Amino acid sequence: MRRTGSAALAALALAAVAGGATAQEAVFDHFVYRGTDAAHQGAEPTADQYRNPILQGFYPDPSITRVGDDYYLVTSTFAYFPGIPVFHSRDLVSWTQIGNAIDRPDQLDFGTLGLSRGVFAPTIEHRDGTFYILNTCVDCGDNFLITASGPAGPWSDPVWLPDLKGGIDPGLFFDTDGSAWIVNNGPPEGTPRYEGHRAIWIQRFDPVGKKTVGPRKVLVDGGVDPSTNPIWIEGPHLIRKGDWYYLVCAEGGTAEGHSQVVLRSRKPDGPYEPWSGNPILTQRDLPRDRPNPITSAGHADLVQLPDGAWAATFLAVRPYEGDFYNTGRETFLLPVDWSGDWPVILKRGEAIPYVGQRPNLPAQPAPDVPTSGDFEVVDAFDGPALPPYWMMLRNPREAWFDLDSHPGALTLKARPVGLGDNANPSFLARRQQHQNAQAQTVLRAAPTREGDRAGLAVLQSDDYWYALSVVRQDGRAIVELRRRAGPDQASGGELLASRPLAGEGPIRFRIAGRGDAYDFAVAQGDGDWSTVLAGADGTLLSTRTAGGFVGAVFGPFAQSAF
């Protein structure tokens, strides 16, 4: 059970109380998430081992930095708010979210962007008492810098970096001589030769003036072997080891062809030579029919440990069939073999292990909120704020939830904003973190106007979701299951099943995912569960079907008819 949370979400909740409660509200007593994965069975880590992924669920594009004995990690959140979760660890295995870097609605404006736009691939670094995050707000302002004196924030308003216009994935590097550099993905010089033709650029950075300075220069045009027309060289990070500068980048796109490559130079601004043994990480050459596969690995960041060893965090996915996965791109950890002249995360042909040897760091206690393995998390809604892992679709423009109107419960204001409206509905979400996952909540009080509804949803994007709710219809309470299975459907989705609600007492909702199938059930008071629909198509919540870069989320919602 988690009792601390985001300052931004707490402020919004207090604003809701100050503004007065509305009669059209939904009150949820608690929320339970639990999940298991087949790959965890029979592979329990020993005391000197850890389990992959280290951050299960939709936590892509990890960037990591070390400050003394502490490690900090950030990931992408696209058009979800709060954005850019900040995690802390001292052993690279036990991670605790300590905040969100984008936690004020006026920092960035996601407007009506698709959920897979917004903030892409942040980089976190530290220098002389200041934490830096560089990031791109795609379709909402381009590249920017935010800073903080502590990793938990508060983080500054964005400082925009206009020289990087049209690029993504900015990475920050501080050299031993005090100089600073930004590397990023950007359009190539001249006309692109093919779809996915990109380049890696470098430019000096002034950390005092918080701006780029001097000329920009291309370090990599296309990829490590331009003759093959490589696609999407991106996610660059610059590392110094001895007298060499190593440029590590993702290449091949973020699907099954994803990989990590490395180049090196005697100077930070090149010229760079690629390693003949590239890629240093990929799973694209493994059999697709292997059991419990991990695929699409890349977008790595490297960090050095106190004993001189190196480790890498990176993204990968866990399909339940083919290239179908609903948990999004997750964060994994592996040691880096730097016994030779080049870093190697994983030898070609080797599978990413679900269980690995712990880094040579003092083991830390398990986090209060688990991020890896089979687990259950109960949100009792009895604290001053929501935990920082709760999110909403895009920036809020008004206060529509609180934890104080009904102590020990979450209150959502029913508004005429739906899950398919490309807006900010009264919907709070937490990630699906397992292939076999279950979300359950209790609706104590529902909106009372005709056409109003409240319940539990599982959502991949505005266009792909299921919503199980109680709705007022002809003066009666009706249970409905609705689905939206693509942008061509009406924003309110289609009705799959409905039934009158009999009996009295709070309404319990349950959604259970079983790989490619989802089951929906309700109960009332202390009554038994009743199945509304079993075996619904779960592939529509997959990245393969719905597209984008996010994963499925569960959460309570409320909506008014007008």
* Catalytic site positions: 61, 234
371 CB contacts (<8 Å, ≥6 apart)? 54, 55, 56, 95, 433
Contact between 303 and 286 under an 8 Å Cβ cutoff? The reply is no
Query: Which of these, 471, 528, 533, 520, lies nearest to 503 by C-alpha position?
Result: 528
* Distance, CA of 513 to chain centre: 19
Q: Which two tokens stand for residue 164?
A: 């990087």
Contacts of 155 (CB under 8 A, 6+ apart): 101, 102, 103, 107, 133, 146, 147, 148
- Report the DSSP pairing between strands 355-357 and 142-148: unpaired
Residue 331 and residue 316 in contact, taking contact as beta carbons nearer than 8 Å: no
Q: Half-sphere exposure of residue 141, counting CA atoms within 13 Å on the CB side? A: 21
* Integer Rg of the chain from CA: 23
Contact (Cβ atoms closer than 8 angstroms) between residue 348 and residue 282: yes
> Residue 484 — φ and ψ, nearest 5°?
-115, 125
What's 168-222 look like in SS3? Answer: EEEEEEECCCCCEEEEEEECCCCCCCCCCCCEEEEEEEECCCCEEEEEEEEEEEC
In the chain the first and final C-alpha atoms are separated, in Å, by 36
Interatomic CA distance for residues 236 and 123, integer angstroms: 10
Amino acid at 470: V
Residue type, 460: Q
In angstroms, the CA 411 to CA 28 distance is: 6
